[in-house]
Amino acid sequence: MERHWKTIIEPFKIKSVEPLGFTREDERERVLKDAGYNVFNIPADKVLVDFLTDSGTSAMSSEQWACIMRGDESYAGARSFFIFEKAVRDLTGYRHILPVHQGRAAERILMSVVGGPGKTVLSNSHFDTTRANVEASGANAIDLPVPEALHFDTPGPFKGDMDLKALEAKIRELGAKNIPMVIMTLTNNSLGGQPVSMRNLREVAEICKHYKIPLILDVARFAENAYMIKQREAGYSKRSPREIAKEIFSYGDGCMMSAKKDALVNIGGFLALNDPEWVRGAREVLILGEGFPTYGGLAGRDLEAMARGLEEVLDEDYLAYRIRSVEYLGDGLRKAGVPIVEPPGGHAVYVNAKKFLPHIPPSLFPGQALVCELYRIAGIRAVEIGSLMFGEGSNGNFKPARMELVRLAIPRRVYTQSHIDFVIEVFAEIAKRKDLIRGLRIIESSPRLRHFTARLVPEAA
């Protein structure tokens, strides 16, 4: 009998290190002020622990770095392309594999082929760039998550699922011919990084098949989703993450991937399709905007590192560590009295700032106030997902978002348990004197995607 230890350790040792940006509190106060209380404007070397995003921030393995050295940089037909193509084809089972520089390029290409005015795309939830690309083509994007996805305090195993009744009702209402595709996002990034169950995916696929609508999977975090199926769904505990992932892909007619997440690389993505008509159109757009179809806006070395990353991410020890370490942060915050979206997601923990700072109204951005406090007292960088990101206007014409969250996204293989323990300690300290945290006012902003560029000031005490 194999002994089972309780402590799940980082399943790697560290070969190359990078110093963290230690700063003093008075320096951080100055940095915050200069940044207009917007952490997107803070230079990364002034950040101690960076939880801004898990996108493109992974640590590559020594094998991936070896791939970088081996990369074949031939313009057409590079060896690295064939290695990449085989890795993606073996995993997904889709026939045509088109590399792109990152996920949104795949979205733009697909939408310029089959989007357009009068069309509607349905999804469990569109990621924000996916929605932007659907809308930029002239089409509509509608999210149909299960209702429990919005009940933040109540845990559930598969809060990333699609609302099947709503899906069928929408298809009947709009007419199948006006729906070029249904997109399932795994995991559901916009709603807490929650997984989709195999059962829900299978049922969505059946509905799509019945109405002859292609089902496209947005698989930025397919491995995290596969592992949570293994843990939570009956019948999967004995199956390997790769087998589960293959079953996931079998229900789609194609997929788009931002390789900056579960392919463990710093840049890259792909579009994988079966339909030869779609592929013909996509190749044309790819050549116009990205490059020749055997490199798609990337270097040969990037393709090879991606191929390797797709294999490493399905390693069961890696996934056990990955999912557990995010949960561990969630456990620590809960114990410190910090309300989080339950359960923790696969790549991030979301703090419910509305509940944590009830004295700050949405119009004074409680999420952003917490983000600034995390930076001010400890140099931790997180991101607001609330009225600064999704609300409209300020002061008189203010319209709040439906939630005020702070996302702590965990880069893959980058931080150790002591970094996470430190973050938990900081939250416990903030919880003690949270009533003193003040809201913020916008003094400068642009009409679109304002959270990237807005400047704010703290409310007078």
User: Considering the complex, what minimum distance in angstroms separates the CB of residue 129 from ligand PLP?
Assistant: 5
Ranked by CB distance to ligand PLP, the top (closest) residue is 103
Residue 265, token pair as written in the block: 């690389």
* Nearest residue to 220 (alpha-carbon basis) of 86, 103, 59: 103
Neighbours of 348 (CB within 10 A): 25
User: Considering the complex, what minimum distance in angstroms separates the CB of residue 259 from ligand PLP?
Assistant: 7
**Distances in whole angstroms, Cα of residue 407 to Cα of each of 89, 262, 348:** 33, 18, 7
User: Considering the complex, what minimum distance in angstroms separates the CB of residue 124 from ligand PLP?
Assistant: 10
Tell me, rounded to whole angstroms, the distance of Cα 44 from its chain centroid.
20
Tell me whether residue 55 or residue 363 sits nearer to ligand PLP (CB atom). 55
User: Considering the complex, what minimum distance in angstroms separates the CB of residue 253 from ligand PLP?
Assistant: 17
Count Cβ atoms within 10 A of the Cβ of residue 26 and give its class: 0-12 exposed, 13-18 middle, 19 or more buried: exposed
Tell me whether residue 31 or residue 60 sits nearer to ligand PLP (CB atom). 60
Half-sphere exposure of 257 (CA within 13 A, CB side): 31
User: Considering the complex, what minimum distance in angstroms separates the CB of residue 107 from ligand PLP?
Assistant: 7
Tell me whether residue 38 or residue 130 sits nearer to ligand PLP (CB atom). 130
User: Considering the complex, what minimum distance in angstroms separates the CB of residue 103 from ligand PLP?
Assistant: 2
Binding site for ligand PLP (CB under 6 A): 55, 102-104, 127, 129-130, 185, 189, 218, 220, 258, 260-261, 269
Tell me whether residue 132 or residue 357 sits nearer to ligand PLP (CB atom). 132
User: Considering the complex, what minimum distance in angstroms separates the CB of residue 105 from ligand PLP?
Assistant: 7
**Active-site amino acid positions:** 75, 127-128, 218, 220, 261, 451
Tell me whether residue 96 or residue 261 sits nearer to ligand PLP (CB atom). 261
In the numeric block, the tokens 């392309």 are attached to 81
User: Considering the complex, what minimum distance in angstroms separates the CB of residue 224 from ligand PLP?
Assistant: 11
In the numeric block, the tokens 């919005």 are attached to 150
Tell me whether residue 225 or residue 363 sits nearer to ligand PLP (CB atom). 225
Q: Are 374 and 431 in contact (CB under 8 A)?
A: no
